[in-house]
Amino acid sequence: MTDLLAAIPEAPEPDWAAAFRMPIVECGEPLEALGTSQGFLVWPAYHRLGVPNAPAECHARAGVFERLLRAARQLPDGLRLVVLDAWRPFAVQQHLYDTLYEILRQHEPDAAPEELTRRTREFVAPPSTRAEAPSPHLTGGAVDITLCDRDGRWLDMGSLFDEATPRSYTRHYEDASDDHGRAIRDRRRLLFNVMREAGFSNLSSEWWHYDYGDQLWAWHRGEQAALYGPAQVQPLEALWRQQLHSLPGSS
């Protein structure tokens, strides 16, 4: 049986070049709306925060949906998962990357571009729509999550969601010596262990970011290939055309 408060092991920062070289064997799982779930809560953070082009619903691959349910069932009574983001359009990924890079550049005007790029990549994956190397969230395999109590009040996880500081590193509180720090450490351990048990990998610089099936997951776990390439939420017009073309006699 999994120790849900086991220490979070040390993990390297992603080698993005190596991760993006992982082959993709697309399994064809559809994107599904997570907001229909009764097993966890959904709060589409970027839409609520007014980020341009951010969708009002969180979508993820079917396998991710099932594993989120599996992780949620392992939580102690009174705690629930909250999904903050999942499938992310390229425009949103580009906006987040460019915005953080510019903020860092303004904060540290003497920093070299390579250093600014490295710092930005700690908290926002490089934007990419390439079929062989898509951004993790573009695949529907990456999710951003947190914990809340039974009434929906978010727990203190030691940093804000998307906070671009060292406190966001998953292991930041592992050596905490005060009661408050140890409480945060245990919440992060709980989240990490239920998600790992469900098959996810974690991005070491973001306690909230977990992957299943994408190239980052494949790189972290030493898999032979990723399961998910780029995905797209189909607009109604595309669904109608697809349905009509599937009718007998359609060319």
- Binding-site annotation, residues: 137, 144, 209
> What distances in angstroms separate CA 169 from CA 60, 121, 158, one per listed residue?
24, 13, 10
Number of other residues whose CB lies within 10 A of the CB of residue 96: 23
Residue type, 198: A
Number of other residues whose CB lies within 10 A of the CB of residue 95: 19
Of these residues, 29, 32, 122, 206, which one is catalytic? Answer: 206
Q: Is 206 a catalytic residue?
A: yes
Largest CA distance in the chain: 71
Binding positions for Zn(2+) = 137, 144, 209
Q: Which residues pair with 130 in a beta bridge?
A: none
Phi and psi, residue 108, nearest 5°: -130, 75
Instruction: Please give the Cα distance from 172 to 207 (Å, whole number).
Output: 9
Q: Which residues pair with 202 in a beta bridge?
A: 210
- Residue 165: burial class (beta carbons within 10 Å; 0-12, 13-18, 19+): exposed
CA 179 remoteness from chain centre: 29
| SS3 of residue 16 by DSSP | helix
Q: Show the 3-state SS of 128-147.
A: CCCCCCCCHHHHCCEEEEEE
Tokens of 103: 């903020």
Instruction: Please give the Cα distance from 45 to 94 (Å, whole number).
Output: 16
Active-site residue numbers?
206
